[in-house]
Structure 1
Amino acid sequence: MSKDGIKVYGGNYEFYDQQKQIENNALNQDLQSKEKALRKAKEKERETLERQRKLDSRGKGKQEKSGVSRIMMNTLRNKAENSTSKIKGLHAEKIGGISQELQDLRSTLPGIDKMKFGFNNSELYHGKILFTATNINFTYNTKPLWKHPLSLQITSGERIALKGVNGSGKTTLINLFLGTLEAQSGKVYRAESTSVYIDQDYSLLDDKLNVYDQAQQFNATALLEHEIKIRLNRFLFGQDDWDKSCSVLSGGEKMRLMLCCLTIGNQAPDIIILDEPTNNLDIQNIEILTAAINEYNGTLIVVSHDELFLEQINIIKTIEL
């Protein structure tokens, strides 16, 4: 029995179990195939746009050197912008079609329990200024990271996407925000706040610990052993998983354990920073992550190229580097 009605299987329970396993395996294979197609389509879009950007930049430089008139420069620039817009439209249509097919497939999967953060809300009021940067820059090998100094402001409660090509300075900006780096020029203001930075490798987890001991590391409110295990069960870590080493967990399992640890910590951090959080996650774990993030009411900063994910977690502001 499912939301779509009742399906009759002949034979005993063993036969039913085998048939359900065959159906689920086939469905998961279809999902994996569509996920792979979606990732390839997004990668192709990024490569094409980056190649077009380089061609436009190279063409502009040649035109400036050859003394092309301003009117002709404007005409060529408009053509380049129209070409880029057309490319974006074609890729968006293809990606949108694959995304819809994925959602249709996902809707036929057996339902999973939604996992909630279940901790107290951030104590900061919405709108409090957390970070202000005025004309900041950072230098690597005597070369400024950003062509033009950055000026920006982040306030409590904002949901922000941080975008840019590789080498554009996203990680440097995050470290400046966290205070692990200091700007070499300009001014920075940071309000007192608590933050959690979850990178692509889930470095906050200790690979030397097992799942249960890792959860205990976040037990700041002295929860009893059975309470820790109840939280772990909520995030799909049953008794067979409690002694499993964190080093052998998949990306999706590490993500779920990280979310579970945050709930055990009880008090929500004022700021959560996620670095490419959907990389190496299957569609089910992306749904789990999305549901958990949408329960969080603090400040969220996300580095991601996954436009569908950014839309689903209600991003309201973009910082483009």
Structure 2
Amino acid sequence: MLHLQNISYIHPNKDLLFEQISFTVNHLGKIALIGNNGVGKSVLLRIIASELHASAGRLEAEAQAYYVPQVFGQYNHLSIAQALNIEKKLYALKAILKGEVTLENYALLNDDWSIEERCTQALEYWQLSDLDLEQKMETLSGGQKTKVFLAGVSIHQPALVLLDEPSNHLDTAGRQLLYDFIESAKCTLLVVSHDRKLLNLLEAIYELTKKGVAIYGGNFDFYVQQKQIEANALIQDIQSKEKALRKAREKERETAERQQKLNARGKKKQVQTGMPKIMMGKMKNDSENNSSRLKGVHDEKISGISRELHELRSALPDIDKMRFGFDNSSLHKGKILVEASGINYAYGSTFLWTENLTFLIRSGERIVLRGLNGSGKTTLIRLILGDAEPQTGTMKRAANKTVYIDQDYSLIDNELSVYEQAQQFNVSALQEHDIKIRLSRFLFWREDWDKPCRALSGGERMRLMICCLTINKQAPDIIVLDEPTNNLDIQNIEILTASINEYRGTLVVVSHDESFLEQVNVERTIQL
């Protein structure tokens, strides 16, 4: 169905993104394509979809791919029908039914008499029945735009479907529709996603790295198991190399000591036997040359083992280095931080919630805010943060320090460089080299310190945000997370999860990522 051979891509600025990527997706295969942010997953999908041209290599596909992109802004000026490329067919069908029986209309319709019926059924499945196909895409939410393009799969019935982060903007109900669709799909699927529940529905994991594509013949749970086996083997290799390095150094020392003793005995014997000075000089030179040769042999061996050990260590994950490192001493478990009694909020004359909300938030709790898209989760966050006040009821907030982390990591100032951003949080007057050491710990090296924050990927923004919070060591009373995993790859989700689990304060999170909610140990739900 799909075959890639030695595909390479070079950006217009001449930077190489990836090279010699080769893999095959069989007919009706359901494959996940995963990899760290920036490795080129979306670019590879766009090459398969014929939206980009590979710089080298060969691509063979038995059918034209139907592509659901991650970003939809380029379609905002189009109607839903235009974005789905069905406007002309629908126009032709309506014209024929009105009696405008022309060769042009028949050519446009191309015998697709069920197009309107499929549109109705597809929109109904994706809970979009209230939308008009003439409606502009710019009027839709992110979740609705995703559903529109997913509905296009049922409308066009393609043999090959490419999905780029399809669950990103979907609420819980929308995600369940997506999971059901993937399980029942009768087409070949290639899916880029970090949604671990979705990844467990697929039959193989293709991991894209700078070294190429590694294939794991099972779902995401199987992939995790295999990666753990690889990690254990890597640790054993490192321990073995460390042992070999110690032995090589011991051997070098023993050889050097033995040579020194031989040299000392030889020199003593030469003096005792009255050997001529010219002969003694020659033997001394020979001894020194021999010592130098032996030292060179040992140095080369030690250098080789050290180089191999460095390469092995560089393959270890960096997750354990990245922690908030907060001083949690000021946090008091059980203290009431927010008390809401009969609150509601209105836009115009319409209140958000059919029933007024009453709840407490105590120190140390882990709470998830749940509700469909448009149910007021973001408004409730603004009320909790004190950025808005309820129009009915009372909202009491204890004096507390709150950090709000949204899905765009807006704590990061796009106008600053990476180093300048870190300095903004330097309330304890750390020295410049201390700031740069912390940046390096979060994988921001010397060449990154002057990079503008606007150029950072989602994962890089998240790492920089955690780094900044470690510089200001006092733990906040509340951390609010609003869809924090939407723009992260799997590795960066693991980094965020590990950091959150080290935090001992109150966590309020909006997320449809059930795996993330489970791993950060959410205990209680506020349902909207």
TM-score above 0.5, yes or no: yes
Deviation string, structure 1 residues 36-78 (Cα, Å, up to 9, x no partner): 9795478597327689xxxxxxxxxxxxxxxxxxxxxxxxxxx
Aligned CA distance change for structure 1 residues 271 and 50 (closer, same or farther; 3 Å): same
Cα RMSD for the two superposed structures: 3.0
State the match for 2:515 in structure 1: 308
- Which structure dedicates a bigger proportion of its chain to strand? 2
* Contact 2:171/2:372 (8 A) holds in 1: no
Task: Give the direction of change, closer, same or farther, for the CA distance of 1:212–1:315 in structure 2 (3 Å limit).
Answer: same
1:138 equivalenced with 2:336 (yes/no): no
Alignment of 1:1-321 (within 5 A): 30-32=33-35, 40=166, 43=170, 46-47=173-174, 96-97=200-201, 98-104=219-225, 106-107=227-228, 108=230, 110-113=315-318, 114=320, 115-121=322-328, 123-321=330-528
Distance 1:302 1:44, change over 3 A: closer
Unaligned runs of 5+ in 1: 1-20, 52-91
8 Å CA contact retained: 1:31, 1:105: no
Larger radius of gyration: 2
The question of whether the paired residues in 2 share the 8 Å contact of 1:38 and 1:99 is answered with: no
**Deviating runs (4+, > 2 A) in structure 1?**
21-26, 29-33, 36-51, 92-99, 101-111
CA distance in 2, matches of 1:211, 1:46: 38
In structure 2, the residue matched to 1:65 is: none
Alignment partners' CA distance in 1, 2:455 and 2:345: 37
**CA–CA separation in structure 2 for the residues paired with 1:48 and 1:121:** 36
Normalising by structure 2, what TM-score?
0.45
> Using CA pairs below 8 Å that are at least 6 residues apart, which structure has the higher relative contact order?
1
Question: Kindly tell me: are residues 102 and 132 of structure 1, through their superposed partners in 2, closer, same or farther at Cα, counting changes over 3 Å?
Answer: farther
Give the CA deviation at 1:268: 1.1
Shift of residue 284, structure 1, vs aligned partner: 0.6
Q: 1:49 to 1:96 in 2, by over 3 A?
A: closer
Q: Aligned partners of 2:220 and 2:173: how far apart in 1?
A: 17
CA distance in 2, matches of 1:39, 1:122: 40
Pairwise CA distance, 1:124: 2.6
Looking at structure 2, the residues matched to 248 and 118 of structure 1 have their Cα atoms a distance apart, in angstroms, of: 27
Give the direction of change, closer, same or farther, for the CA distance of 1:122–1:190 in structure 2 (3 Å limit): farther
Give ranges in structure 2 of 5+ residues lacking alignment: 1-17, 24-31, 36-40, 42-161, 179-195, 202-218, 232-314
CA 1:41–1:244: 2 relative to 1, 3 Å: closer
Identity %: 54
Which SS does the other structure have where 1:247 is aligned?
helix
Distance in 2 (alpha carbons) for counterparts of 1:49 and 1:199: 23
The 8 Å contact of residues 120 and 266 in structure 1, kept in 2 or not, is answered as yes
CA distance in 1, matches of 2:226, 2:380: 38
Change (3 A) 1:231 1:179: same
Partner SS state of residue 294, structure 1? helix
Shift of the alpha carbon at 1:122? 5.5
- Tell me the matched-pair count: 258
Cα 1:155–1:298 change in 2 (3 A) is same
